[in-house]
Amino acid sequence: MDAFFASVEQASKPSLRGKAVVVGGLGPRGVVATCSYEARVFGVHSAMPMGQARRLAPHAAYLVPRFELYRSISEQVMRLLRELSPLVEPLSLDEAFVDLEAGGAAWDAESARLAGAKLRGDIRTVTGLTGSVGLAASKMLAKIASEEAKPDGLVLIPPGTERAMLEPMTVRTLPGVGPATGDHLRRAGITTVGEIAEAGEDELVRLLGKAHGHALYAMALARDERPVVAERETKSVSVEDTYDVDIHDRVRVGVEVGRLADRCVRRLRASGLSGRTIVLKVRRYDFSTLTRSETLRGPTDDPAVVREAAARLLDSVDTTGGVRLLGVGVSGLADYTQEDLFAQAAGEGAEEPAEEPETASAEEHTPSLAERRWPAGHDVRHTELGHGWVQGSGLGRVTVRFETPYSEVGRVRTFPVDDPELTPADPLPLVAGAADGEDDEAGQPSSLPASLPKSWSGGGGAAATSSP
């Protein structure tokens, strides 16, 4: 998908179409998740510190992500991919590999091109957004082709032309070649993929080590035998938070670790999993990152057990000077718990004990009118003015632009943050007429499509669709 998060925001907000849009964390330590192509003209890019992005593009719209909406649209796209083939390998919300041959959707270059063109049209029809498709005989080449196709394009690499296409490209084109490896190769006089092939496998092994050297040489020769894998095993479940201000209070650090442990267990249970290794991650004030782990006798999904293990791990970490990031994870996953095995061995048929109430996280707290936060870009509804989105808030006021995905550019109004007539709202579908039920009096869909959550806080050959 093309600039996925930013494109969703532009599609849902008529006033932002054709404008620079940056989506990410807006706090002092926030980073850019995605930005529109209009913002990239100013040098903004993903993973850039938000402060730097604001200096480069001070007039862009800066919005807080709406991940539930992005996930729902991603599900629509993934369904279209699964109609093409049973072998779909998602890499993220907006990127996936598809084995077209396995689904009978393509058997040569021309049929692959037709399948890719139809997919792009279907994505636009269903979501109102654009996606770019790369078609080739392997995953690596399909990925490269999809990057070449951006934005809103299709690139096919015909069989037999792969080497010629790769040779003039920079070494950074190949997967696994980041800034450090790229600089190392440049100092050795290697700047293009063709020069990697000319250098030879032995020279690359000498420069980069055995594993990396062998892999890079194979890629330079357009060799990639990796299959498209429909299901990839989950190896760990984790959650983490970055704090705008360093936490110095040791008690507060402990409370945050307990809260993260509870969130991690909820995610673990939602996946029907348990785990036996508890991992604590602490990033300190000086950016040094410490990781501690403890392996239990057997897998568990008990929040009390995970909390206690995380607390023990915290005892071994020096947080003097402050903490900027905390994380709790569980690995060594299984689809059973050790307690279940003990019960089966003993032949016990006792009823399962009531689940211990989980500590509510900060985002699950139901705020009073005066406490409500209004994240920039999130949806709201006014009893008289209808649906809109938050342009900004502060000093006890919130500014809202009233428009929908299917309206003209809307008007702007400002309200007190505790105005009882203004409430958070669910996002509207991006495509008019995609909602279930009848239209309201304004001719807009009155409910969400089945693919969108009905209730959430406003808060062989291969093809690849990818994010930049």
Indicate whether 456 pLDDT > 50. Answer: no
pLDDT in tens, 56-71: 999 999 999 998 899 9
What is the pLDDT confidence band of residue 368, given thresholds at 50, 70 and 90? low
Residue 358 pLDDT more than 50?
Answer: no
Do 463 and 100 touch, CB atoms closer than 8 A? Answer: yes
Task: Exactly one of 9, 38, 89, 95 is catalytic; name it.
Answer: 95
pLDDT band at 430 (very low <50, low <70, confident <90, very high): very high
Is residue 167 among the annotated active site residues? no
**Can you give the pLDDT at residue 1?**
95
Q: Where along the chain do its domains lie?
A: 4-67, 236-348
Name the percent of the chain lying above pLDDT 90.
59
pLDDT score recorded for residue 365: 46
Structure tokens given for 70: 């992005």
Tokens 């993973």 label which residue? Answer: 47
Yes or no: say if 106 and 100 are a contact pair by the CB < 8 Å rule. Answer: yes
Q: What is the pLDDT of residue 288?
A: 83
- Amino acid found at 338: Q
pLDDT above 50 for 12: yes
Residue 372's pLDDT band (boundaries 50, 70, 90)? low
| Segment (H or E) for 324 | strand 323-334
Q: How far is CA 459 from CA 63, 172, 279, 303, 376, in A?
A: 12, 37, 28, 25, 10
Q: Which long-range contacts (CB under 8 A, 24 or more apart) does 316-321 make?
A: 316/292, 317/280, 317/282, 317/290, 317/292, 319/247, 319/248, 319/250, 319/253, 319/282, 319/284, 321/246, 321/248, 321/284, 321/285, 321/286
> What would the CATH number be for the domain defined by 4-67?
3.40.1170.60
- Span 372-389, mean pLDDT? 92
Q: Are 323 and 271 spatial neighbours (Cβ–Cβ below 8 Å)?
A: no
Q: Please identify which residue in the block is written with the tokens 């649209």.
A: 73
Q: Could you tell me the CATH superfamily of domain 236-348?
A: DNA polymerase, Y-family, little finger domain (3.30.1490.100)
List pLDDT tens digits, range 280-339. 999 988 878 899 999 998 889 999 999 999 999 999 898 888 898 999 999 988 866 554
Residue 7, CA distances (Å) to 55, 310, 406, 430, 466 in order: 22, 39, 15, 11, 14
pTM above 0.85, yes or no: no
| Closest C-alpha to 422, from 389, 459, 361, 380 | 380
Choice among 255-259, 387-391, 451-455 with the minimum mean pLDDT: 451-455
How large is the average pLDDT for residues 165-184?
Answer: 88
Least reliable range by pLDDT among 83-87, 170-174, 346-350: 346-350
Q: Is the dihedral of CA 259, 265, 271, 277 positive or negative?
A: positive
Determine the Cα–Cα distance for residues 465 and 88; give it in Å rounded to an integer.
11
pLDDT score of 338: 52
| Cα gap 389→375, rounded to integer Å | 9
Query: What gap in Å lies between CA 102 and CA 86, rounded to an integer?
Result: 7
Q: What is the pLDDT of residue 233?
A: 67
Q: For residue 239, give Cα distances in angstroms to 194, 259, 281, 329.
A: 42, 10, 10, 6
Nearest Cα neighbor of 140 from 262, 226, 261 is: 226
Mean pLDDT, rounded, of the chain: 84
One-letter amino acid identity for 356? E
What is each CA distance from 112 to 12, 97, 437, in whole angstroms? 32, 14, 37
Q: Supply the pLDDT for residue 449.
A: 39
d(CA 81, CA 31): 30
- For residue 459, pLDDT over 50 is answered with no
Dig out the tokens for 90 from the structure: 């998602």
- How confident is the model at residue 406, as a pLDDT? 92
